[in-house]
Structures are given as structure tokens and as C-alpha cells.
Amino acid sequence: MPYRILHELPGRMRVRVQPTVCGGLTETLRSWLEMLDGVEEARVNVRACTLVIQFDPQQISRERVLDRLTAFRPRSTTEHDLTPEPDDPAITPLVRSVLTLVLLPLLPSSAQRVVTFLNIGAKLLKGADTLINQGVKIEVLDALAVGLSASRGKLYTANVTDFLLTLGEYFEVRTQQQSDRLLRRLLRPQPMAAWVERGDELIQVASDQVRTGEIIVVGVGETISVDGQVVAGVALVNQAAVTGEDVPVACEAPKRVVAGSVLIEGRLRIKAIRVGEDTTAARISRFIRSSLEQTSETQRLADVLADNRVYLTLGAAGAVYALTRDLTRVQSVFLVDYSCALKLGTPVAFKSGLYEAARRGILIKGGEAMERLAEIDTLVFDKTGTLTYSALEVTDVVVLDRSCDYSEEALLALVASVEEHASHPLSQAVVEAARERDLQHISHGEVDYLVAHGLSAEIQGGRIIVGSRHYIEEHEGIHFSAHASRLASLINDGKILLYIANERGPIGLIALRDTLRADAAAALSRLRTLGIDRLVMISGDRREKAESLGRALRLDDVHAEVRPEEKAELVKALQREGRRVGFVGDGINDGPALVAADIGIAMSGGADLARASADIVLTDDRLLALADAREIALGTLSVIRTNFNATVGINTAIMAGAMMGRLSPAASALLHNGTTLAVLVNALRGARIVGEREGEGDATPISKRTAISNTLA
């Protein structure tokens, strides 16, 4: 894309771009640049058709940034592009106000009046329009304060007051837009183009033109445009834009990859499974957009209180005038505004919390969901896929008949050689265990497979039978009763048993169980410290197995042998006890329970229905992410409470000073706007988890400190 550098400093460039880019592709261009590691922010001035790029020279060279800009192709944008972000707040009113203050003492009195009313006219008109169309709002009070000074001939005071109000409005809009930008930077646009194999050719097409089943080729620095499966190649892939995980991962066949990931090294051929609006990146974008549209109960209450405070200010001003007839005090009172900090601080804090959660791989559907997450006292987990991984692991290989001369490894190798012909999860776990131990394949004859029971095969020295106890005892007539105590011990430990026999009798057992998540115990412990006083597990497993896991994780209650349709009823039973319940699940059959709970949470590998039903989706496959979400929710509400108390307390003190005549209008405006900005910056900083506050590392791809400083830049 053609451009011209207008101004340049280390780490910062201002360039002029094509008018077509400013006419509707601003968010696409911004995201295109910000996907590059080292680029901290890109801002487009639509009216001037200029682009400001801020980057870290320690991470990336200016030439690399300019190469990225040159590679941008507006014509490649698809209809799935993001909604353009609103323009930056206009600087013109602020410049006009400053020039008025500088020139006013140099002008004759008649010209001073004209210049003053030209400067403050927009504020007076806005106040009148607000009064007519919306009633008494803060804009009306601002117009009254400025207009009173001007009408009394205090022109310089009127212009100083106007400048302070305009400066405050500018910073407020900048802060509000920054909070939106933090979230929008997570909404990467659909990749500009994709290289697709069609016939004998490799052709470039817009990403929305890739069809399911087609093979795309992705090289270094390119963005994967589909959710798909690697069919060839090896590469290092950065998935931070989708999962929040900063560390690149190695990918090769048959690993799955998701749209929005960027290739760091290598080259991949990928079979498209989900394309266009069905990709993970597109669904995450829709999720976060819907989050921005959600209004919480706290925010609605803040809006009501803010509107009521306007009448308080108006009433106080009326009382001051009735008692003192001092219009200067009245002006000072008019300039005390609870409304801005109350109305803006709450949504900014929620958006900051949503951003903080999203960059950690936690998608929260708006402020209301965050509120409910902070309020729950009970968490119900569907066991498989949440507390455990879906995959099974081999825990024990037991040789029962020592006369067969099988060692544990030999028995595992034999069973794995037969089981590799089946697709059952038990079979896959056994084969994987043998592969991890690097055991050799053992030759055998044709495998006979009986669905849901087991299989058998001819081997040297006879026939081997592998399957369930029922199958081997009832169908083959081989009994394991002589080993009852050993079987009971393994079953009581919550393990699944695979039985092995030959014509002469039992040979051995292979015990398996769900893979407990490595962070499960730590996550549950942390959730308790964060105020969750009841942890419950629901499982379809046998009672012995479920209770064994419950004891290991120190759960408060375990419901075993639960049918899918009973999960929602168990959630409702807890709610009838007066509990506020969160449900964590990942399966299609978890949908009703996710909806019934006060807050539904879906794991990263969950079914589409579970993710659609949930209020929170963990895109990072960590159970500790759930504890992060709870802490962020609690922290965000704490920030909101702190800001509310500070706003009411400080502004009340300012109003008292104004009513007693201790504060001039200019001082009143300065103190009020300073309070509002402090509240907004605190809201923008948002909640941070304990680990970061204690300096245990900073995984932030976009520095919060940079974001705050840019807000005021």
C-alpha cells in the first residue's frame, strides 16, 4: 500500500495513507499492523488520512514495520471485516479554546465578547439541545456555568472554565475509546488472503472464498485463515491472538490449527475444516462484540444514580443562590459533576476486566456475566473434560498368571499390538502407553472384534482375548473370581479395567483412568480462597470411581451415575437451597445445565452447543483460567466500588467548598475534572490477578502501562 512518512521519532511514525483506507478500512489496517510482534498501537486519523504507528525498537525495526504496511492490500478485505472504530476525539475545540485564552487579553473589549461567544457557543448550543431533547443533564449544567460567567462580563473566567471542561471531555473520550480499543485489539480481522491448492496450481484468494476440504499453504509470517488439520509440514505457530497463549507451539500432521494463528517458522499444508464465519477466530470475535453490548446491573444502577446526582447539583445551586445571591458560588456548584465519573468509570472498568480476561484465554459475555461470576458461592463440575482430560491413561499393568512368562512390558506390548486395530478410547490409551515406552509390535493373526465387548487374535502359542469382564466370563467362560481382592482394590481406586485371558485362563489386567488435570487441585484450592465455599462434581461413572476422585480433590459433594438429563435438575436443586451456582462443562449434554446455572462456563475443547450456551468460555485449556476469571471478576467489582466511593466522596467535598465560596469556578472545574480522570485511569488499569501484583511475570501482549500512557498522550 502506498504511503508517505510525514514525521518520525524513535519508536513512533506518522504516515499519510490512501483516502480509500480511511474510508472504511481503518480497523482492518490497525489490526493488520498490531498483529506484528513489537507494534504497540496503530491509530488512524480519518479526516487527515494519517496513520500513527507506535512500536518497540528493541523488538522490531522500522523497516519491518514499513514492510508490513506496504504489504497491506485494501482490496483483499472481506465482508467479515470488523466494524470501524469511532474516530479519535477531535482536537479542534481544545486548540480553539487555548488560542482564545492566549489572544483574549490582546483584543479590545468588543472583540473579546465576539471571540468568547464564538468559543463557548458550541457548549451553549449543546446545553440547550440537551435540555430540549433529554431534560436536565450534565451538559445543561456546564452550559449554565459557562453562560453565567459570560453574561456577567467575566469573559476570561468563562473561557478558562470552557477550556477545563473541554480538556476533561477530550480525556474522557480518549479514555473511553482506549478501553474499547483494548478489547478490539483481540478481534483480529479475517486474514487478507490465503494460498489454496486448486488443480495443479497454487492460487491466492480472499479468505472467505476458501471452501471446506480444500488444502491451503501457509508460510512464514502468514496468518492461518481457516480452522483445519495439518496434512504436511512442520512449523512453529503463534496462537496468542486466539488462545491468549504467548508461547509458540510446534505443529505437524495430524495436529489441528485455528484461524488467526500466525506462522513463525516453517511451512504447513492445512486441510480446511471450518472456514469464514465458522472459524474459531470469527466466533471469538462475535463473542467479544456481544460482550461490549451487554449492560450489567451495576452499570444500569450507576447510570440512574448519575442522573439523580445532576438534580442534586441543580438543587444545591438553587439553594446557594436563594441564601447568598452569589452567582459565582452558583457557577462553582454547577461545575461539580458526579455524572461523568459514575457513568464512564463503570463501563470502562468492565471493559478493562473483559480485556484482561480475554488476553488470558477467558471470554466473558459482558459485565452482567462478570457480576454473576463474582456472586456465585457454588461451582458444579461435570467431571470428564473439566476436572479430567477426556483421554484415558494406563496406570497399572498386572500379570495374574506368572506361568505364562509375561513381564508387564511384554503383556502391554502384546495387548497394544492387538488393540491398535480398534478405535475405542481404551484401545487408543493402551496403544499410546506402549508407544511412550517404545515397545515393539508383536505379530499376531487376524483380529476378531465384537463391538462393545472386546476382541481376540491368534498369536504364537494360542489365542489371546482382551475385553470387559462380562465378555470374557459370559461369552468365553473364563472367570476372574480367584483374583477378586486384586480387582476390588483397583476398582476402589476409581480405575477402569481391561481384562486379558487365553484358553487356559486369566493372564492379566490393564488398569486405566481419566487423566486428572495437572492444575485441578491447585485451581480448586484457589477457588476456595476466592470465596467459593462449595465444590461439587457430577459424573456418569460408577460411584466407587467418582467418589475416589472426589476424595483426591477434596470435593464437598459427588453425584455419581448421573444421566445427562439429570444434570440441570441437580443445579436447580442447589439453587432451591439458596445457593448461587456456576456450572462447568464441555459436552453437548451439558447445554441444559449451563443454561440453568446462574453462570455457565464451557471448557476450551467443549462442543459448539456447550460454548454457545455458556456465559464464559475458557479458550485457554487451563482449569486455573477459571480461578483467574473469578479473581478478575471480584477485582473489577472492587475497582467499581472504590471508584464509586471516591467519586461521591471527593465531589461532595468539592461541592461543599463551592457552596461555602472557598472554590472559584475554575478551581471547581479543575478539581472535578481531575477526579474524573483519576477515576477513569483507575478503571482502565482494572483488576489484576495476585501473581502479577507480586511480580510473578507479565504475560501481557499489550502492556497496560503503555495503554494508560497512550490514553493521556
* Residue 299 pLDDT > 70: no
Tens digits of residue pLDDT in 7-26: 888 889 888 887 766 655 56
> How far out from the chain centre does Cα 706 lie?
20
Superfamily of domain 353-381+520-630: HAD superfamily/HAD-like (3.40.50.1000)
* Residue 308 pLDDT > 70: no
CATH topology of domain 194-278: 2.70.150
* Strands of the sheet with 39-45, listed across from one edge: 3-9, 12-17, 50-55, 39-45
pTM: 0.61
Return the CA Rg of the chain.
Answer: 33
Q: Residue 248 and residue 262: Cα distance in Å, rounded?
A: 9
Omega of the bond leading into 2 within 30 degrees of 0 (cis): no
pLDDT bin (cut points 50, 70, 90) of residue 345 is: confident
* Residue 311 pLDDT > 50: yes
**What confidence score (pLDDT) does residue 22 get?**
62
Mean pLDDT of 333-351: 72
* Residue 78 pLDDT > 50: no
The least confident of 361-365, 409-413, 424-428, 479-483 is: 424-428
As a whole number of Å, the end-to-end CA separation of the chain is: 28
Q: Residue 449 and residue 92: Cα distance in Å, rounded?
A: 79
Q: Residue 417 and residue 427: Cα distance in Å, rounded?
A: 10
**What confidence score (pLDDT) does residue 179 get?**
55
**Residue 28 or residue 469, greater confidence:** 469
* Residue 239 pLDDT > 60: yes
The least confident of 1-5, 536-540, 708-712 is: 708-712
**What confidence score (pLDDT) does residue 654 get?**
85
Beta bridge partners of 705: none
**What confidence score (pLDDT) does residue 215 get?**
92
The least confident of 469-473, 544-548, 693-697 is: 693-697
Average pLDDT, the chain: 78
Which set of grid coordinates corresponds to residue 273?
475444516
Residue with cell 495513507: 17
pLDDT bin (cut points 50, 70, 90) of residue 126 is: confident
DSSP code for 207: G
**Residue 545 or residue 35, greater confidence:** 545
Beta bridge partners of 252: 234
**Residue 69 or residue 27, greater confidence:** 69
- List, in order, residues 6 or more apart from 218 with CB less than 8 Å away: 194, 195, 224, 235, 263, 267, 268, 270
- State what percent of residues in the chain have pLDDT above 70: 77
* Residue 296 pLDDT > 60: no
**What confidence score (pLDDT) does residue 452 get?**
53
**What confidence score (pLDDT) does residue 699 get?**
37
Residue 485 burial (CB count, 10 A): 7
Q: Report the helix count and the strand count for the chain, using DSSP H and E.
A: 26, 24
Cβ burial of 14 (10 Å; 0-12, 13-18, 19+) is middle
Mean pLDDT of 537-547: 82
Give DSSP secondary structure letters for 465-530. EEE-HHIIIIIT----GGGHHHHHHHHHTT-EEEEEEETTEEEEEEEEEEEE-TTHHHHHHHHHHT
**What confidence score (pLDDT) does residue 630 get?**
94
Residue 259 burial (CB count, 10 A): 29
Closest CA to 505 of 453, 444, 464: 464
Q: Residue 637 and residue 603: Cα distance in Å, rounded?
A: 24
- One fold for 3-69 and 389-515: no
**What confidence score (pLDDT) does residue 552 get?**
87
Q: Residue 245 and residue 616: Cα distance in Å, rounded?
A: 18
Which set of grid coordinates corresponds to residue 65?
514495520
Mean pLDDT of 77-93: 51
**CA distances (Å), 332 to each of 1, 42, 55, 393, in order?**
53, 40, 43, 72
Is the CB of residue 262 less than 8 Å from the CB of residue 221? yes
Is the CB of residue 353 less than 8 Å from the CB of residue 636? yes
* Residue 503 pLDDT > 90: no
Residue 436 burial (CB count, 10 A): 10
Domain spans in the chain, listed from the N-terminal domain onward? 3-69, 92-182+293-352+631-711, 194-278, 353-381+520-630, 389-515
**What confidence score (pLDDT) does residue 412 get?**
92
3-state SS string over 555-610? CCEEECCCCHHHHHHHHHHHHHCCCCEEEEECCHHHHHHHHHCCEEEECCCCCHHH
Tens digits of residue pLDDT in 392-437: 788 899 999 877 778 899 899 989 988 887 766 678 889 988 988 8
Tens digits of residue pLDDT in 594-646: 888 899 898 876 555 556 667 888 877 788 999 999 999 999 988 888 888 88
**Residue 180 or residue 250, greater confidence:** 250
DSSP code for 209: G
CATH topology of domain 389-515: Calcium-transporting ATPase, cytoplasmic domain N (3.40.1110)
**Residue 711 or residue 133, greater confidence:** 133
Is the CB of residue 12 less than 8 Å from the CB of residue 5? no
CATH topology of domain 3-69: Alpha-Beta Plaits (3.30.70)
Cβ burial of 74 (10 Å; 0-12, 13-18, 19+) is middle
Is the CB of residue 116 less than 8 Å from the CB of residue 100? yes
**What confidence score (pLDDT) does residue 230 get?**
92
Mean pLDDT of 537-565: 84
Torsion sign across C-alpha atoms 619, 622, 627, 631: negative
Residues comprising the chain, all counted: 713
Mean pLDDT of 117-141: 81
Q: DSSP alpha helices (H): ranges in 231-296?
A: 240-243, 280-293
* Residue 199 pLDDT > 80: yes
**What confidence score (pLDDT) does residue 280 get?**
66
Mean pLDDT of 504-518: 87
Mean pLDDT of 95-114: 85
* Residue 314 pLDDT > 80: no
Q: Residue 315 and residue 302: Cα distance in Å, rounded?
A: 20
**What confidence score (pLDDT) does residue 23 get?**
56
pLDDT bin (cut points 50, 70, 90) of residue 379 is: very high
Q: Is 446 helix (H, G, I), strand (E, B) or coil?
A: coil
- List, in order, residues 6 or more apart from 144 with CB less than 8 Å away: 127, 331, 334
Q: Residue 614 and residue 373: Cα distance in Å, rounded?
A: 12
Mean pLDDT of 237-254: 67
Q: Residue 222 and residue 237: Cα distance in Å, rounded?
A: 10
**What confidence score (pLDDT) does residue 170 get?**
73
Residue with cell 469464514: 276
Most confident of 42-51, 403-412, 560-569: 403-412
**What confidence score (pLDDT) does residue 528 get?**
94
> How far out from the chain centre does Cα 417 lie?
44
* Residue 460 pLDDT > 50: yes
pLDDT bin (cut points 50, 70, 90) of residue 694 is: very low
**What confidence score (pLDDT) does residue 320 get?**
82
* Residue 261 pLDDT > 90: no
